[in-house]
Structure 1
Amino acid sequence: MTPHVAIIGGGWAGLSCAVELARADIRVSVFEGSATLGGRARVVEKDGWRIDNGQHILIGAYTETLRMLRLLGVSPKRLYSRPFFIHIPGVLDLQAADLPAPFHLAVGLLRAKGLSWADRRAAARLLSHLKRIRFVLTEDVTVSTLLDRTAQTPTLRRLVWEPLCVAALNTPAERASAQVFANVLRDSVAASASASEVLIPRIDLTELLPVPAVLYLSRKGQNVHTMTKIRGIARTEHGFSLEGDPFDGRYSHVVLATAPWQVSGLTAEFSEMERLRNQLDAMRHEAITTAYLAYDPAIRLARPMIGLDDGLLQWVFDRGQLGGPDGLLAGVVSAAGTELSREEIALRAHQDIERLFATDSARLPAPKWAQVITEKRATFACEPGAFRPITMTPVKQLYLAGDYVASDYPATLEGAVRSGLQAARTIFRSVGVAQPTLFKLD
């Protein structure tokens, strides 16, 4: 049977898999149940506003994501780029220097405002410890335990390590995997200056990768079907068929690029998947809340991205400085285990932002528009020993892709892209096709 791969899910994992297969001229059909591509990193329209379903950032260490964007012809200008920084107004100003590693971070720490010499020594102590053990822990513990063992100061924990942990792993430090956190540090701030760069999309997340991916696939004669909900997978004499496929296709391979909790319903026919289904259904997840507040266009943050040390919001992004409407701010609460209503979250977010602008003589006017989006299962809980499946399943030629699939990284855009590429490369081996040249731009 000529290879024809069905990819269920049009998020970043599924589309990356499709693009990689198309580069090798393997026939692909992508099925997405919603009208908008991108999965949990997509644009949504609310009251005439186009906003993302959650604010995302990238870093220079996201090599596969950046390679994919280059392959798809996405201009680097689509990303705001700046050396690693954490800016908390009036509290901390830390920015890596534009120097080769390790001087970029060392000079950044020396110049940082808001850190004592004890804080600087503690930061050096943690990174030296991780380098000494080659960033491989003898046992996975929580990030809090790692910080305890390396005698990190309360200030450094509160202002640097804990915010970085929850931003990268979307899991609080007291529950987060120290090994995954060490992996992130290894490939970012402890690596090169370019690897630690902060990259923030200037366009919506659907336009950043999904739309260029669909255009690429279209040029290659491949099919992407939106508003097509696949309800199940069945085995046939020569491969698979899909329940809900309007084209009644026959597929040699299937890639499940869905959320983990959707796998059970799709694979109910396969008894050999029972154990894996149970493991996926038992996975714990964390929420992310993003509060969008539209103010007068004159409202502008000191930086496109700032941190907050006291309040509900952890990070605030100035979308007006990032290609969006002036005055539109996005406040993020990662690992958002809050029981507040949307109205309460919007009010608390406004109060956090008001403290940045209010003076003795004037208060910040209420926003003209507000929208709160909570992804209740935005990421898996990145805890020590958390179950993460491999790409292959007990069913031959049926694969998994998604940011939850086993890798060094937490549930990030890079994790999603890498999982899609891994699924594609596993298919290459199964059909005896050579992997396309790494930097081939066709």
Structure 2
Amino acid sequence: MSAVEPFDAVDLIRVKRGGGALSTEQIDWLVDAYTRGYVEDAQMSAMTMAIFLNGMERSEIRDLTLAMIASGSTMSFDSLGKPTVDKHSTGGVGDKITLPLAPLVSSFGVAVPQLSGRGLGHTGGTLDKLESIPGWQASISNERLFEILRDSGAVVCAAGSGLAPADAKLYALRDTTGTVEAIPLIASSIMSKKIAEGTAALVLDVKFGSGAFIQDLEQSRLLARTMVDLGRDAGVATTALVTDMSEPLGHTIGNALEVREAVEVLEGGGPADVRSLTVALAREMLALAGQPDADVEAALDDGRALDSWRRMITAQGGDPSAPLPVARETHVVTASSSGYLVRQDALPFGVAAWRLGAGRARKQDPVMASAGLELHAKPGDRVVEGQPLFTLHTDEPSRFARALEAVEGSWEIGSAAPAPRTLVVDRLS
């Protein structure tokens, strides 16, 4: 005889549909019952829509996060004997910050266990970028993970399927039911995985603007506040920076192109915005790790961060000195008039890189390591008629037409320079 369930999914849906709050016991049961298949996708779809429309109280979001953590295994880095700190970005166009950031922070003796994901749609995935390096492996065992953290200090790898499996199931459902943007579900999804990873401290890069997951600044602030509170409630020291993603970050969009640019930053150069955000996040991470006065810019300029990068890549089978893939075909778009570049919308450029082969429409799709865009001018730059504005890269020239379609009307040349961009607009702790 089967066991009697303590709650009924329909009753819980009615509570949330009516704007009520679920108890800890109800949320624990709901997540467990959904993970084991007792609560059906159709019922959980109704619940996620009720949450999307009516929100959740702070205690409910905390309970949902903890229940998703409890659905699987957790990790602990206490045995490493050195501080651990992780970083999570909500994603954007040209966001390659993890690549220079992890080795930079680890060059100060801090362990950086960066469990990352792959790109879907217009946002690139850190693992896809690193896989453009010959030999580099995203999947490593837990034993190897700990070895590298002890020896090299930084690991960027795929998260194991045992961490928060309820989140993986719920995330796939949200993607097909129009509830991806629900802040309680975004916050609990991100934080359940990050807390389960076992890092002692976490810095969040929460983006807003046309190329971001959430475009509205105030909604991004709310998401940042919610996630910082969740981290603190779980005993993870957490801070967040709210950053502008209205234009692409850096001068490149696409896997191998972004790796090349990340190395330029580690060599003490690179675009000003990529360096600036890398430094800002590194300072936050090192402050949480007990080094608030660390001179992170010196570590970029004197080669320490680059040495750390080489160790990090080599430890996962990659060859940091090997040539990166180069696209077989390019197409240059030039300025039609002289003036200042006043606008460069992030989302269309991200979509164009995706259409060139840098991204995927489905999780199982392959990506083209060499595909993407190279931006020769950024908003505020003076341009002259006929000057290259950006170059499209792909191995398949048949992709150029749809990529050019995506960026049509997404940049503008004017007679006056735009106001300088403020990259980091808020900090929450």
TM-score of the two chains, using structure 2 as the length reference: 0.23
Of Structure 1 and Structure 2, the greater helix share is in 2
TM-score of the two chains, using structure 1 as the length reference: 0.23
Of Structure 1 and Structure 2, the greater strand share is in 1
